[in-house]
Amino acid sequence: MSTTEPGWSSDQQDTINAVLQRAVERHGDRQFLDVLGDTYSFRDVDQFACRLANGLQKLGVRKGQTVVTLLDNSAEAVFIWFAINKLGAVSVPVNTALKGEFLVHQVSDADAEIVIAEHDYAQRVASVADRLPRLRTLIHRGEAPQMAFDRPLLSWAELLTDNTDSPQVDVAPGDLAMLIYTGGTTGPSKGCMISHNYACSLARQMLKISNRNAETITWTPLPLFHFNAVSTSVLANMMVGAQVAVYPRFSVSNFWPEIERTGANDVQLLASMLPMLANAPDNDAMLRCKGQIWMVNGAPFPIPVQELWKQRFGVTHTICGGFGLSECSLPTLLPFGTPMKPNSSGLRNHEDFDVRIVDDNDNEVPANTPGEIIVRPRKPHIMFEGYWRRAEDTLKVMRNLWFHTGDIGMFDDDDYFYFVDRKKDYLRRRGENISSFEVERAFLRHPQVDEVAAHAVLSDLGEDELKVTITLKPQSSLDSESLCRWASDEMPYYAVPRYIEFRTELPKSPLGRVYKFQLRDEGVTAGTWDREKSGFQLQKR
């Protein structure tokens, strides 16, 4: 079945607001959203978004203004995303694990005057408010934070007006819809500027990969503060009148009961979730749901894991639909029904991008030869608009008028793409981008740490684990577990390293630069402390 909407062509520019308006006109009171059994129609979503947008407008939110959100997966997180976009404002959904300096950086860098947060995350914001001079209003969902806050503090109910009229704001396809912060290695995380049309373009690419239609019910636990979930699940399904069930937080034990309850036939997962579920013990709900799921999408998705999903659960289609990153998605994709080659990540996306593999001098290399992946768009507003307020950093990655991904890959003779490695020491763990720079900066705040190098170590799940290799100041008696406990209080849980190793010195170049590639290659040594094997319990809040 075709996934394109009536009257729409692949060259047409679009906005998130227009997608919502068309969905209400075409599907109205049909169910769209399910969160733990609370259901909402397309019209419900629009009306809640209008009520919130009018509340934000009363607070002075105008077109182009950033609004930071720290929200768990919920219906309200969906509503507020659409509400911010209705005003032509810029949604900045930040990772709910952020705290301390990590949180201060993203809120202040986004220049946000308004932050909307769950009540416990609101307490984190209040605790660093003295370092956020631009912040003027904090809105909490749930109870009020139990600490002093010397600026206006509003509840979610106070933001939600009774006015269901859509604000009259002219929003163009090239206008900014979101800032998505992505990890860096040589500096703080940067905000990728995402236009309305880029969000819509990625959603349509997902439809091309998955062939979703009005009968699809997609279930996802992926966090709504990521570009992936809001575009490839919420927005994509809205385009074709499909349903989406959003789950607050991934759980192996609750997966099959949720699939049974929602009737989901399409699942959107990520990385380690796929093998964890494939290897989990049978349960009654799984046995009752065998054959119910038609499509499972995720990356990476190794062939043996795909085969397990098909054999154990009766899944028809398992896909690793393409390669992409926040700045540019998707330069490679696998259209629905196209055969997949083992270990590949789609075909070159000729329709949307010019994608090439080059050497260190930007010369294109032959097929089957690894090199850096570089990209440029064939259409307007289908990749990021640059890094927020970082023109110099944007120019660095746009060398020779090509976006340089910093990743190594290759195409074979049939144009299938294969990811090879990361050109820089960049980390991605359990779906989270990790800035090694920010991790190192955090550890250097510890009074007994002298030098630190944060780097990747390959895990048994086929993705990165984080290791810090550290030298201590003279006469220090610090041990690994004590340092890890300190880190868990100062850093988001996903940035707390699994591995810690103390050394007398770090390997360096003659100019004093730490050889991270050497540390990465050495991996887990005999002197490395392993948080998971030690029994240390990390709280994921």
Q: Which of 422, 454, 480 is the last residue of a domain?
A: 422
Q: Both 40 and 154 in a single domain?
A: yes
Query: Which pLDDT band holds residue 102 (cuts at 50, 70, 90)?
Result: confident
On whether residue 539 sits in a domain, the answer given is no
Q: Both 402 and 435 in a single domain?
A: no
**Side chain identity, residue 312:** R
Cβ partners under 8 Å of residue 330, min gap 6: 202, 205, 321, 322, 323, 324, 346, 349, 352
* pLDDT(513) > 70: no
Q: Both 408 and 487 in a single domain?
A: no
Q: Which of 367, 402, 422 is the last residue of a domain?
A: 422
* pLDDT(2) > 50: no
Q: Among 210-214, 269-273, 392-396, which stretch is predicted with the lowest mean pLDDT?
A: 269-273
Q: Both 412 and 485 in a single domain?
A: no
Q: Both 367 and 467 in a single domain?
A: no
Residue 96 sits in a domain of what CATH number?
3.40.50.12780
3-class SS string, 406-465? EEEEEECCCCEEEEEEECCCCEEECCEEECHHHHHHHHCCCCCEEEEEEEEEECCCCCEE
| Span 516-538, pLDDT tens digits | 778 888 889 999 999 989 988 88
Q: Both 439 and 364 in a single domain?
A: no
Q: Both 21 and 167 in a single domain?
A: yes
pLDDT of 460:
65
Residue 519 sits in a domain of what CATH number?
3.30.300.30
Asked if 220 and 267 count as a contact pair (C-beta separation under 8 A), the reply is yes
| Span 476-505, pLDDT tens digits | 999 999 999 999 988 888 889 999 999 999
> Which structural domain range is residue 400 located in?
323-422
Q: What is the dihedral of CA 233, 234, 237, 239, to 10 degrees?
A: -130
Neighbours of 13 (CB within 10 A): 17
| Span 370-379, pLDDT tens digits | 889 999 999 9
Whole-prediction pTM: 0.82
pLDDT of 343:
83
Q: Both 380 and 434 in a single domain?
A: no
On whether residue 241 sits in a domain, the answer given is no
Instruction: Kindly list the distances between the CA atom of residue 204 and the CA atoms of 9, 199, 268, 384, 432, in Å, as whole numbers in the listed order.
Output: 11, 9, 15, 16, 24
pLDDT of 107:
97
Q: Which of 397, 422, 447 is the last residue of a domain?
A: 422
* pLDDT(183) > 70: no
Q: Both 400 and 456 in a single domain?
A: no
On whether residue 214 sits in a domain, the answer given is no
On whether residue 218 sits in a domain, the answer given is no
Q: Both 22 and 158 in a single domain?
A: yes
On whether residue 540 sits in a domain, the answer given is no
Closest to 151 (Cα-Cα) out of 163, 167, 135: 135
On whether residue 190 sits in a domain, the answer given is yes
Cβ partners under 8 Å of residue 105, min gap 6: 188, 189, 438
* pLDDT(1) > 60: no
Q: Pairing relation of β-strands 153-155 and 137-141? A: parallel
* pLDDT(172) > 90: yes
Interval 378-403 mean pLDDT:
96
Asked if 364 and 357 count as a contact pair (C-beta separation under 8 A), the reply is yes
Instruction: Indicate left, alpha or beta for 289 from its phi (over 0: left) and psi (-120 to 50: alpha).
Output: alpha
Q: How many domains does the chain have?
A: 3
Distance CA 19, CA 242 (A): 13
pLDDT of 372:
92
| pLDDT top residue among 539 and 164 | 164
Per DSSP, the residues of 476-528 read: ----HHHHHHHHHHHS-GGGS-SEEEE-S---B-TTS-B-HHHHHHH-S-TT-
Q: pLDDT over 90 for what percent of the chain?
A: 72
Residue 408 sits in a domain of what CATH number?
2.30.38.10
Q: Both 344 and 442 in a single domain?
A: no
On whether residue 293 sits in a domain, the answer given is no
Distance CA 471, CA 217 (A): 51
Q: Record the tokens describing residue 305, joined without a space.
A: 């894991």
Greatest mean pLDDT among 60-64, 98-102, 146-150, 301-305 lies in 60-64
Beta partners for 514? 508
On whether residue 394 sits in a domain, the answer given is yes
* pLDDT(76) > 70: yes
pLDDT of 11:
67
- Rounded to a whole number of angstroms, the distance between the first and last alpha carbons of the chain is 42
Asked if 64 and 178 count as a contact pair (C-beta separation under 8 A), the reply is no
| Span 110-127, pLDDT tens digits | 999 999 999 999 999 999
Q: Both 86 and 191 in a single domain?
A: yes
| Span 450-473, pLDDT tens digits | 889 998 887 766 567 899 999 998
